[in-house]
Structures are given as C-alpha cells and as structure tokens.
Amino acid sequence: MRWQAITERGIRIDHRTYDHEVPGPLRGQSSGIVARGGKWEVHHNPHDGRQVWVRLPDGELTEIPWIHRDHTHHPFDERTRRYVRATAGPHTDADIHEANLADALDRPMRRAHTGRATRAEQRLLACGTPTRTPHRHAPCTKDRSVPPSRGRARRASTNSTTVPMHPHCRGRTLR
C-alpha cells in the first residue's frame, strides 16, 4: 500500500500511469487525510502491475487499470518490469517511453508462450509468475481406509494459513 495523488493524468507509479473514468471527479482533489498530505490510499499487487486499487471516499477499493494493460496479457512482477526497463534504454518522452515499456514487457511473455524465449527470459518469467493457492482443499495424502486420529489439532502459527482439507487429511499449514 502507498499514498499517491490522483492527478489530471491519473495515478503515476514507477513509469506506469493508471487511469479510468472512476477517479475522474477526484482528479486534483485532496483525500481529506491531512496526515498523508491529502494523498489517496493506493493498493497494488507486487506480482501483477497491471492494475491498482484506490480507496474511494465511500470506503470501497476500486480497481484502476494501467493504461497499457491491453498490451501486456500476462501478469508481471517488479523484477520483470525493472529488467525490461533496463533493456529499453534512455527516454525523452514519458508517454512514448511508457508505451515502449508495455510492448517490451509483452514481447518476452509472448516468446515464452510460443517456446522461443531465451533462457534468461524463461528464468525471469518463471520467478515473476504468481503461483495459485488452493481455494478449498489441498490434495489428500492419507490412506482413506484409516480413520482420522482424535488427538488435539495443532494451532497454526501467526505467519501461516490453515487450508481446510478432506476429513482424513488434518489441516496442513501453508506458509
């Protein structure tokens, strides 16, 4: 989470502009939070820079897309963005540079999808691709013919999440 101004052009973070019709009336306006200099609460996913979420005056978080989101069809993390930015070279016009970065982000992803990515691109994209977490059940690893034990369940640590599982598979802790 960070605190950002909503300018006439939208929200600008790390050479990316996020804009939509939703923050239209809020452009140039103060959030009313004096302790934060009137800036707005902006949330981002470090594994997917294609959108941010802004907390509006009604308290709801609203998604604001990156203006070049249609050019990058896959999520990208900060490491991938820095790599592409370093290979893009110097720039003079911010708008043209942002469009070039969007195209440069999409190229290695498309090459990886077709099997033509370099080893460096494959490693970079493998590290930058978010993994999916189980929604409801993790795979059952116990023999179903053995009834579950009736002992006390372990309490999960504060840095982990217990995922509900099949009754034969006691709650396993994921970190």
The mean pLDDT values, 10 residues at a time, for the chain of 175 residues are: 94 92 90 96 92 94 94 82 79 86 84 84 70 41 44 38 38 37
- Report the alpha-carbon distance of residue 162 to residue 149 in Å, rounded: 18
Tokens of 131: 């993994």
**Predicted pLDDT at 148:** 45
- Look-up: residue for tokens 């802790």? 173
The residue ranges of every structural domain in the chain are: 2-67, 71-128, 134-175
Long-range contacts of 17-21 (CB under 8 A, 24+ apart): 17/66, 17/67, 17/98, 18/51, 18/52, 18/64, 18/65, 18/66, 18/67, 19/64, 19/65, 19/67, 20/63, 20/64, 20/65
Strand partners of residue 64: 52
CB 4 within 8 A of CB 40: yes
85, with CB counted inside 10 A (0-12, 13-18, 19+), is middle
**Predicted pLDDT at 128:** 59
83, with CB counted inside 10 A (0-12, 13-18, 19+), is buried
CB 81 within 8 A of CB 109: no
Strand partners of residue 53: 43, 63
Sign of torsion over alpha carbons 56, 60, 66, 70: negative
**Predicted pLDDT at 30:** 95
